């Protein structure tokens, strides 16, 4: 799935969830070596804003690492508990962040 974020006349396009996650992360030298680093602070912010609008369900349907080649991905998908996920399944990444921050601030 393609992800987009526009601000003013500039539009950033991220080919898939893997690229979006890489571009939304803080810049690291390894990302530069791998060719997945952001090219500007603006692109990093655009990726973060775009990521905030991604439904949590997308992480179950668009694996960042292929299921066949990664034990952790297989473990996550195979042991996913739909019932436990249900209360937050409708949320986006940003809404889930706000939920966690609000919940933590009340405790």
CATH number at residue 44: 2.30.170.30
Q: What does DSSP assign to residue 56?
A: T
- The rounded Cα 38 to chain-centroid distance in angstroms is 15
Together in a domain, 65 and 100: yes
Query: Is the Cα dihedral 47, 48, 52, 56 positive or negative?
Result: positive
Across the chain, mean pLDDT equals 91
Together in a domain, 33 and 60: no
Together in a domain, 63 and 26: no
Together in a domain, 43 and 88: no
Question: Is the pLDDT confidence value at 21 over 80?
Answer: yes
pTM assigned to the model: 0.83
Per-residue pLDDT reduced to its tens digit, 51-79: 999 999 999 888 888 999 999 999 999 99
Together in a domain, 33 and 75: no
Together in a domain, 25 and 64: no
Structural domain that includes position 18: 1-54
Together in a domain, 19 and 35: yes
Number of domains the chain contains: 2
Together in a domain, 50 and 87: no
């Amino acid at each position: 799935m393609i992800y987009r974020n526009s601000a003013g006349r500039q539009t950033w396009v991220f080919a898939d969830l893997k690229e979006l996650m890489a571009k939304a992360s803080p810049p690291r030298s390894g990302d530069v070596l791998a060719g997945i680093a952001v090219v500007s602070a603006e692109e990093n912010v655009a990726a973060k804003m775009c990521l905030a609008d991604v439904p949590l369900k997308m992480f179950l349907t668009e694996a960042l690492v292929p299921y066949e080649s990664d034990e952790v991905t297989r473990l996550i998908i195979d042991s996913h508990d739909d019932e436990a996920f249900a209360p937050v399944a409708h949320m986006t990444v940003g809404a889930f962040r706000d939920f966690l921050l609000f919940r933590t601030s009340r405790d």
